[in-house]
A and B are shown apart, each in its own frame.
Chain A
């Protein structure tokens, strides 16, 4: 069974998914970051493929992507690094990027390579549902990969049902109408949205992302879903410089509310 599906069979609450941009802060930090995140007790890791034009992302992730590209990160290199990482850890890994990157690598080649290096799922926010269903679904499923689609407060119910049907693994629930890293805190309007989705009794678990950056926001998100995703806040912590292992442990402890002063 796919590691992501396995994870959600065992764990239905408080799932912590952390995003980082591959190649940032350093070109060879992929393995140290993944190992540190696993050691710190993260459940799921989203590896960002740095992209020149990341439409859904805010400045923090875009700048980390630009830095990673400057450092020389490429998709073939990332796959090499991930193949090596997989020899040392069993944590579920998700690749996140933009569809153009997949197209240029070759769609079939990309999904096969993901399977070969031990990637468990993909998130491609600009891949449309129709094109996925008619052209790529078979490739993804034959490669045994999970795939997450996004829903937002504006996504209509019939479309959410459709997304639930096409998803494998978990649904990526965008907390607010925003790009990543844009808004801080969770409003009453968002809570109403979380509750509304929660009552839909979808087949797949939901992780809430965008605007999750602290113990408070993480805990709130977890009340209405199986867990949450943090990206920009962790990138910022890494960007401040220092030992990756120490930064990561401190960050995850803070998010989990395990800070002992």
Chain B
């Protein structure tokens, strides 16, 4: 089975562009041009130059010896946490800002949940001197004060999304509405492999640098390009898309998609879309999403804002429903435990999203001879506030007395 997007933007039966006519010209312009622009030497030169000198790529592939010893298997960490701004998100915003420039756009909009994509967008807008407006749910603005300050410091205007549940999905709705109201001069930088075609494919391509580097680095480290298992967390799914991309058509490489179970898959407070989701349309894409029987989109829950999304990218819906990827759901509590464990074990404080990926090691089967790559999508600085609330529970022995 060859896995790729078709020319209407479908992965199997998922994807497409379910958008109101007001968005059609913007999306059509992108769809017509993204592949040819990305293919130009000029684009490739600027993209790779910035990824190297500005983002700090290639990011290391690090053999996590103590974790490997603990789990009795070889574990490599793909260190996206070492990217400028602290996560993989910037791979995509660099790509999209270069695209926006070539489309002659003067103004950038974005949505953000925890603020990571907002910061990555504000960063590239500052870099290019473009106007930047970031939509963020009012509730999230309260919860993520440091990232709000970062965006402001970088010159972005943070606009509260006050509609609906005032979180990521509503910030996305507001960004889409802004784009409807400003169809000519504005580019919308979506932060994940979600939204109408061509976004899922475009974002996956920009993130695919992750697996491209993995192949080279694994070959160097192990003599083989391919691991047996790749583990990545999935909210919308951009870091997973990047980590899987060059392995999609190699079925012998297992792909593990780690979702947030929140307080438990069936607790009513969960974001485990592959289990709880049904087929529908969200943000212009036909995919799996959490909704009522009447088709109203429900608000998910995860302790990690980056996984707190009621849908999943159409590529992942396709991978999971066809069995190409295996979905694992990890609770808030397990993710929290993993975050503290990995910090002590490897001296790396992971983002809460990434902590879910580590936790999957407790839930999957593997052979001791396997090579596992965990995509360490982001660092945990942004989550310190949450970690502080739990530190005495997980690290009582070194409490300050």
Contacts and interface: CB of A to CB of B under 8 A. Distances in A.
A51 B21 contact: no
Interface stretch (A8-16, A177-185, A193-201, A220-228): A177-185
Contact of B8 (A52, A130, A154): A130
A53 B24 contact: no
A212 to B, nearest CB: 16
A150 B21 contact: yes
20 contacts: A52-B164, A52-B297, A53-B164, A53-B283, A53-B297, A55-B19, A55-B20, A56-B22, A62-B163, A74-B294, A100-B282, A105-B295, A125-B20, A126-B18, A126-B20, A127-B18, A128-B17, A174-B21, A174-B22, A178-B180
A58 interface: yes
Contacts of A62: 163-164
Contact of B294 (A75, A131, A151): A75
Nearest to A54: B173
Interface string A144-188: 000001111011100100000000000000100111001000000
Contacts of B284: 55, 126
B208 interface: no
B8 A126 contact: no
B169 interface: yes
A53 B169 contact: yes
Contacts of B16: 128, 131
A98 interface: yes
Contacts of A215: none
Interface of A: 51-53, 55-56, 58-59, 62-63, 66, 69, 74-76, 98-105, 125-128, 130-131, 149-152, 154-156, 159, 174, 177-179, 182
Nearest to A69: B296
B12 interface: no
Interface string B176-199: 110011110000000000000000
Contact of B180 (A56, A74, A101): A56
B56 interface: no
A58 B21 contact: no
A164 B279 CA distance: 30
B25 A101 contact: no
A100 B20 contact: no
A214 B400 CA distance: 68
Given A58-B177, A103-B279, A127-B18, 4 more contacts: A154-B22, A154-B24, A155-B25, A174-B21
Contacts of A69: 296
B297 A126 contact: no
Nearest to B22: A152
B127 to A, nearest CB: 29
Contacts of A105: 294-295
B399 interface: no
Given A127-B18, A149-B21, A154-B25, A66 B164 contact: yes
Contact of B21 (A59, A131, A155, A178): A155
B155 interface: no
Contacts of A149: 21
Interface string B270-298: 00000000111111100000010111111
B196 to A, nearest CB: 9
Interface string B231-275: 000000000000000000000000000000000000000000000
A100 B280 CA distance: 6
Contacts of A159: 24
Nearest to B183: A177
